[in-house]
Amino acid sequence: MAPHAISRFGRRLLIVFASWMLVSTVTAQTGTDTLTSQRAAFKQAYAAASQGGDSWRALATGLENYPLYPYLQAASLEHDIQLIDRPAVEAYLRQYPDLIPADDLRRHFLQELARRQDWDNFLAMYQPGLGDALTCDALQAKVESGAPLDFNKDLASLWTEATLPSACDPVLQAAHDQGLLTPARLWARIDIAADAGKGGTISNLAKWLPPDDSQVAQRLALALNDPATAVNAAANWPNTARSQQAATLALVRLARRQSITADTAWQTLQERFSFAPTQRDSILNALAVFHATDYDTDALNRLINLPASAQTDVSREWRVRVALAEQNWQAVLAAIDAMPPDQQQNDEWLYFRARALSELGRSSEAQNAYAVAAEQSSYFGYLAADHQGTSYALCVQQPVIDPQGEQAVLAIPGMQRAFELFAVDMIKQARREWSQALANVDPPTLRQAVNLADQRGWYDRAIVTFNNGPGLRYYTLRFPLARQDGLVAQAEQAGIDPSWAYGILRQESAWMSDAQSGADARGLMQLLPSTAAEVARRNGLPWDGADSLYDPTVNIELGTRYLAQLAGRFNGAPWLTSAAYNAGAGRASQWVDARGALPPDLFVASIPFKETREYVARVMYYSVIYDWRLHGSAAPMSTRMTPIGQPYSRLESQDPRKGITCPAPASAAPASSAPATATSAPVSSTASPNRVPATDKAH
Decide if pLDDT at 242 tops 90: yes
Per DSSP (E only), the strands in 369-510 are 392-393
Domain count, the chain: 3
* pLDDT (0 to 100) of residue 400: 87
Which of 259, 275, 291 marks a domain boundary? 275
Q: What angle do CA 79, 82, 84 make, to 5 degrees?
A: 85
Do 433 and 530 belong together in one domain? no
Q: Give CA separation, 673 vs 297, 636, 659, in Å.
A: 30, 18, 20
Q: Give CA separation, 455 vs 401, 462, 517, in Å.
A: 12, 11, 27
Q: pLDDT, tens digit, for every residue of 35-79? A: 999 999 999 999 999 999 999 999 999 999 999 999 999 999 999
Which has the closest alpha carbon to 250: 162, 192, 275? 275
Of 61-70, 148-157, 617-626, 683-692, the poorest mean pLDDT is in 683-692
Do 573 and 624 belong together in one domain? yes
Do 209 and 230 belong together in one domain? yes
Give the count of alpha carbons within 13 A of 421, CB side only.
22
Q: What angle do CA 60, 63, 68 make, to 5 degrees?
A: 100
Q: pLDDT, tens digit, for every residue of 429-481? A: 999 999 999 999 999 999 999 999 999 999 999 999 999 888 999 999 999 99
Do 493 and 595 belong together in one domain? yes
Rounded mean pLDDT, 286-305: 95
Domain residues for the domain of 626 are 483-661
Decide if pLDDT at 680 tops 60: no
* pLDDT (0 to 100) of residue 260: 94
Q: Three-state DSSP class for 658? A: strand
Name every residue whose Cβ is closer than 8 Å to that of residue 267 and which is 6 or more positions away in sequence: none
> Given 508, 557, 611, 614, which residue is catalytic?
508
Whole-model pTM above 0.85? yes
Decide if pLDDT at 658 tops 80: yes
> What is the full DSSP assignment across 96-136?
STTSHHHHHHHHHHHHHHHHHT-HHHHHHH--S-S-HHHHH
Q: Give CA separation, 323 vs 301, 355, 362, in Å.
A: 10, 12, 18
* pLDDT (0 to 100) of residue 21: 38
Burial 483-513 (b: 16+ CB within 10 A, else e): eebebbebbeebebbbbbbbbbbbbbbbbbb
Alpha carbon distance 460, 411 (integer Å): 22
Do 523 and 652 belong together in one domain? yes
Burial 582-593 (b: 16+ CB within 10 A, else e): bbbbebbeebbe
Do 524 and 622 belong together in one domain? yes
Element holding 45 (H helix, E strand): helix 3-49
Considering the domain boundaries, does residue 575 fall inside one? yes
Question: Alpha helix (H) ranges present in 584-677?
Answer: 585-595, 600-605, 610-631, 637-640
Do 618 and 490 belong together in one domain? yes
Do 583 and 499 belong together in one domain? yes
Considering the domain boundaries, does residue 53 fall inside one? no
Of 237-241, 447-451, 577-581, 690-694, the poorest mean pLDDT is in 690-694
- The letter for the amino acid at 408 is A
Q: pLDDT, tens digit, for every residue of 5-32? A: 434 434 443 333 333 333 333 334 446 7
Alpha carbon distance 207, 200 (integer Å): 12
Alpha carbon distance 258, 254 (integer Å): 6
The phi and psi torsions of 226 (rounded to 5 degrees) equal -145, 75
Sign of CA dihedral 457, 461, 467, 470: negative
Considering the domain boundaries, does residue 510 fall inside one? yes
SS3 content of the chain, % helix, strand, coil (to 5): 65, 0, 30
Considering the domain boundaries, does residue 671 fall inside one? no
Q: pLDDT, tens digit, for every residue of 508-536? A: 999 999 999 999 999 999 999 999 999 99
Considering the domain boundaries, does residue 392 fall inside one? no
Q: How much is the mean pLDDT over the chain?
A: 90
Decide if pLDDT at 324 tops 70: yes
Do 416 and 498 belong together in one domain? no
Burial 22-50 (b: 16+ CB within 10 A, else e): eeeeeeeeeeeeeeeebbebbeebbebbe
Considering the domain boundaries, does residue 647 fall inside one? yes
Q: Does the annotation count 652 as an active-site position?
A: no
Q: pLDDT, tens digit, for every residue of 96-137? A: 999 999 999 999 999 999 999 999 999 999 999 999 999 999
Task: Report the DSSP beta bridge partners of residue 393.
Answer: 661
Do 567 and 449 belong together in one domain? no
Q: Give CA separation, 500 vs 225, 588, 616, in Å.
A: 41, 18, 11
Do 460 and 595 belong together in one domain? no
* pLDDT (0 to 100) of residue 482: 82
Alpha carbon distance 97, 579 (integer Å): 49
Rounded mean pLDDT, 382-399: 95
> What letter does residue 346 receive in the DSSP assignment?
S
Are 433 and 96 in contact by the 8 Å Cβ rule? The answer is no
* pLDDT (0 to 100) of residue 599: 97
Which of 473, 502, 525 marks a domain boundary? 473
Do 555 and 435 belong together in one domain? no
Task: Report the DSSP beta bridge partners of residue 228.
Answer: none
* pLDDT (0 to 100) of residue 593: 95
The pLDDT-based confidence of 664 (bands split at 50, 70, 90) is confident
Q: Three-state DSSP class for 393? A: strand
* pLDDT (0 to 100) of residue 255: 96
The pLDDT-based confidence of 506 (bands split at 50, 70, 90) is very high
Which of 275, 304, 339 marks a domain boundary? 275
Q: Three-state DSSP class for 516? A: strand
* pLDDT (0 to 100) of residue 261: 96
Are 508 and 499 in contact by the 8 Å Cβ rule? The answer is no
Are 640 and 623 in contact by the 8 Å Cβ rule? The answer is yes
Considering the domain boundaries, does residue 187 fall inside one? yes
Q: Give CA separation, 352 vs 78, 179, 381, 597, in Å.
A: 57, 60, 11, 18
Considering the domain boundaries, does residue 173 fall inside one? no
Q: Give CA separation, 171 vs 109, 117, 122, 193, in Å.
A: 20, 14, 16, 19
Decide if pLDDT at 212 tops 80: yes
The share of the chain scoring above pLDDT 90, in percent, equals 87
Task: Report the DSSP beta bridge partners of residue 522.
Answer: 516, 527
